[in-house]
């Protein structure tokens, strides 16, 4: 083994032993307060870039720094400087070096590091969840579930790492062929701001399980928690450069997409940006995974269990302050049960506890930014202008607690009397706004539900088993639910049809998007030449 590889492998084993021995959590962010954070008290002092196995302070910063806010209070959490070409090059170079070693390890060896990372995430669950809340604004209850999903994803793909294999094919004359499932190289992950820690895990876990390394760029709106995962992978024994974090916006993202040493891009974000990613990737003929926007239908038939249908509609619209790509924001209700449904869904929506996202009783925290809050409120205004009725919510909300007064809150909104041509029915609002539509027949609702350029998710509530599967079969969507909504176990694929994206995340199929097959044909006789 070459000297440098031997040294890296030795480092890998030493790191793993050290992390297994050291009970503490070296490298955690240095907070000025105790571990239990309260809104308005966290100060982020450590650098948020990470490559070559450690946090990196940018040296010759050319771009001016941008403020990062705490949505719950409107306070500046930290200043963020975007990585430039030299920084991106350093991070990709670090990832390339790690790939040389990591790609040669057996699946069991990769799994060991990943399972240790999962253990460390579990140990730091509360800390990670609290920091996620401070930077994103979602409730601590949801943030804990997001951290769990991230850990489960890493555990799941650690198992997948041990099962990666090819195929043997017997050919005539004693010859044979076999396939080798091989990694791609340095993969880029680009994340959105609504599930920052979960998205990092959903992209990095399959990537490293398949033997790749990764450079990840979080959204500049929520840059804080990705570096925690980088630290955890490092503490778990990953080689320097296996998982790296570069901060910045579209310029930094474009530099990553264009980098000649990047083999694949996995993107989560809006449809317009997804199209740009695809264009940039095409110049290097690089495969992409695109997890884009949605405007998904939730269909509630008259024979549904009403209590569960209402719960499903709330889960389909108000998780993460409605900032969820797969949300079922077009709620089609069969006309015969519409009045009872509206009465109950409005009662439950009004009862949603809005406030300090770090409090256990809160179920709706702050939207991610002031501009985004204003965009969502403008959609409600437009809906009223176009004739929809606001049954509840859709207004700015100011909590009683004075430290939250400048936060980005609104009351969750239910719109009634919506028609298919309204803006609130055609466009993704990405906020807590449920648009309710009435329908009469199955054929009618299927046609209307499919009348969208998007196809991320879809849901059906009915007790009629045949109808449930018949309707789901005919809905043009990639992530579907029967008698529930927005349940995303990491064992099954997540992703959309049509303009909602390409490829999948989670589930066994995702291995296909982070590996490639080499075919080897072995001649056991002589060459039967035609010349
Ligand atoms: N399908 C899914 O799983 C999800 C989809 N989304 C979608 O994302 C949108 C909200 O998230 P945003 O962060 O506002 O989306 P966005 O598209 O504005 O940004 C997403 C990421 O792309 C980066 N970016 C922006 N322009 C770029 C460029 N030219 N080249 C490279 N990178 C670039 C941003 O810095 C950010 O990290 C919504 O449309 C939502 O539906 C959000 C979460 C999950
Ligand atoms: C319910 C959770 C769905 C996660 C997809 C997203 O990142 O928006």
- Report the nearest-CA residue for atom 27 of ligand 1: 250
| Beta carbon of 324 within 6 Å of any ligand 2 atom | yes
Q: What is the pLDDT of residue 64?
A: 80
Nearest ligand (C-alpha, residue 273): 1
Atom of ligand 2 nearest to the CA of 487: 1
Whether 11 contacts 240, CB under 8 Å: yes
Give me Rg for the CA atoms of the chain. Answer: 24
CA distance linking residue 411 with residue 83, whole number of Å: 37
Distance CA 410, CA 393 (A): 8
Q: Calculate how far, in angstroms, residue 306's C-alpha sits from the geometric centre of ligand 1.
A: 35
| Cα 6 to Cα 10: distance, rounded to the nearest angstrom | 6
User: Ligand 1 centre and the CA of 219: distance in Å?
Assistant: 7
pLDDT at residue 3, rounded to an integer: 54
Angstrom distance (rounded) from CA 22 to CA 184? 33
Minimum-distance ligand 1 atom for the alpha carbon of 505: 3
Q: What is the DSSP string of 387-433?
A: T-EEEE--SB---SSGGGTTS--B--EEEES--TTSHHHHS---SSE
Instruction: Give the span between the Cα atoms of 379 and 320, in whole angstroms.
Output: 18
Q: Decide whether any atom of ligand 1 lies within 6 Å of the 503 Cβ.
A: no
Q: What pLDDT sits at residue 130?
A: 98
ipTM surpasses cut 0.85: yes
In the set 127, 291, 428, 505, the catalytic residue is: 291
Binding site membership of 210 for ligand 2 (Cβ less than 6 Å): no
CB atoms within 10 A of CB 125: 16
332 three-class SS: strand
HSE toward the beta carbon, residue 259, CA cutoff 13 A: 28
- Say what the pLDDT of residue 530 is: 97
Pocket residue to mutate for ligand 2, from 139, 152, 194, 296, most atoms within 8 A of Cβ: 194
**Ligand 1: does its nearest atom lie under 6 Å from the Cβ of 269?**
yes
Are 465 and 446 within 8 A, CB to CB? Answer: no
Regarding the beta carbon of 289 and ligand 2, being less than 6 Å apart is answered no
Distance 199 CA to ligand 2 centre (A): 8
CB of 150 shorter than 6 A to ligand 2: no
- Please give the distance, rounded to the nearest whole angstrom, from the Cα atom of residue 273 to the centre of ligand 1: 6
CA 268 – ligand 1 centroid, Å: 5
* Residue for token pair 């389909």: 316
Q: How far apart are CA 463 and CA 455, in angstroms?
A: 24
For residue 509, the tally of other CB atoms under 10 A from its CB is: 14
**Residue pair 376/367 in contact by the 8 Å Cβ criterion:** yes
Two structure tokens written together for 81: 């400087």
What does 343-377 look like in DSSP terms, one character per residue?
A: HHHHHHHHT--BS-TTSTT-SB---S-HHHHHHHH
Q: Mean pLDDT per segment of 10 residues, for the chain of length 531 residues?
A: 53 51 38 66 96 93 86 97 96 98 98 98 98 98 98 98 98 98 99 98 99 99 98 98 98 98 98 98 98 98 98 98 98 98 98 98 98 98 98 98 98 98 98 98 98 98 98 98 98 98 98 98 97 97
Report the alpha-carbon distance of residue 302 to residue 32 in Å, rounded: 55
Cβ(234)–Cβ(128) under 8 Å? no
* Cα–ligand 2 centroid distance for 71 (angstroms): 19
291 is catalytic: yes
Nearest to 80 by CA among 249, 201, 244: 249
Round to the nearest angstrom and report the end-to-end CA distance of the chain.
Answer: 42
Residues 6+ apart with CB under 8 A from 170: 176
Query: In this predicted structure, what is the pLDDT of residue 257?
Result: 98
Rounded CA gap, 482 and 246, in Å?
39
pTM above 0.90, yes or no: yes
Neighbours of 11 (CB within 10 A): 15
Q: How many CB atoms neighbour CB 472 within 10 A?
A: 16
**Nearest ligand, CA 329:** 1
Cβ of 428 less than 6 Å from ligand 1: yes
């Amino acid at each position: 083994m070459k000297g440098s590889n031997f040294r890296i492998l030795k480092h890998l084993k030493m790191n793993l032993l050290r992390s297994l021995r050291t009970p503490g959590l070296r490298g955690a962010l240095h907070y000025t307060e105790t571990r239990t954070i309260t809104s308005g008290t966290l100060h982020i002092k450590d650098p948020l870039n990470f490559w070559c196995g450690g946090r990196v302070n940018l040296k010759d910063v050319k771009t001016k720094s941008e403020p990062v806010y705490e949505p719950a209070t409107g306070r500046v959490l930290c200043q963020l400087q975007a990585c430039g070409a030299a920084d991106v090059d350093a991070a990709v170079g670090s990832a390339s070096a790690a790939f040389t070693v990591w790609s040669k390890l057996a699946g069991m060896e990769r799994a060991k590091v990943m399972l240790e990372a999962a253990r460390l995430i579990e140990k730091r669950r509360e800390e990670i969840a609290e920091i996620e809340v401070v930077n994103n604004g979602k409730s601590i209850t949801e943030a804990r579930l997001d951290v769990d999903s991230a850990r489960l994803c890493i555990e799941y793909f650690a198992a997948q790492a041990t099962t990666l294999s090819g195929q043997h094919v017997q050919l005539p004359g004693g010859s044979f062929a076999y396939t080798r499932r091989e990694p791609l190289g340095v993969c880029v992950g680009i994340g959105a701001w609504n599930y920052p820690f979960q998205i990092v895990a959903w992209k990095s876990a399959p990537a490293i399980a398949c033997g790749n390394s990764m450079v990840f760029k979080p959204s500049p709106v929520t840059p804080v928690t990705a570096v925690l995962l980088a630290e955890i992978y490092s503490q778990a024994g990953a080689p320097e450069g296996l998982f790296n974090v570069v901060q910045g916006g579209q310029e930094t993202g474009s530099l990553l997409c264009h980098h000649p040493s990047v083999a694949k891009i996995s993107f989560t974000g809006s449809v317009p940006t997804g199209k740009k990613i695809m264009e940039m990737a095409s110049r290097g003929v690089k495969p992409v995974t695109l997890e884009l926007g949605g405007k998904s239908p939730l269909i509630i038939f008259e024979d549904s269990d009403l209590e569960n249908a209402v719960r499903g509609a709330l889960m389909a619209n108000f998780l993460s302050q409605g900032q969820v790509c797969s949300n079922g924001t077009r709620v089609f209700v069969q006309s015969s049960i519409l009045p009872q449904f509206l009465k109950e869904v409005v009662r439950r929506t009004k009862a949603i506890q809005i406030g300090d996202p770090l409090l256990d009783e809160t179920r709706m925290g702050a939207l991610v930014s002031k501009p985004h809050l204003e965009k969502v409120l403008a959609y409600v205004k437009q809906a009223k202008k176009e004739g929809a009725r606001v049954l509840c919510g859709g207004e700015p909300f100011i909590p009683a607690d004075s430290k939250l007064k400048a936060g980005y809150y609104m009351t969750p909104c239910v719109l009634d009397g919506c028609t298919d041509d309204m803006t609130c029915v055609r466009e993704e609002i990405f906020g807590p706004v449920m648009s309710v539509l009435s329908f009469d027949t199955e054929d009618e609702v299927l046609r209307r539900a499919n009348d969208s350029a998007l196809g991320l998710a879809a849901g059906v509530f009915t007790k009629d088993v045949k109808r449930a599967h018949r309707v789901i079969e005919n809905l043009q969507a990639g992530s579907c639910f029967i008698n529930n909504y927005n349940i995303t176990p990491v064992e099954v694929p997540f992703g959309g049809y049509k303009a909602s994206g390409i490829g999948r995340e989670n589930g066994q199929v995702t291995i296909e998007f982070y590996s490639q097959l080499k075919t080897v044909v072995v001649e056991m006789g002589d060459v039967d030449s035609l010349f």
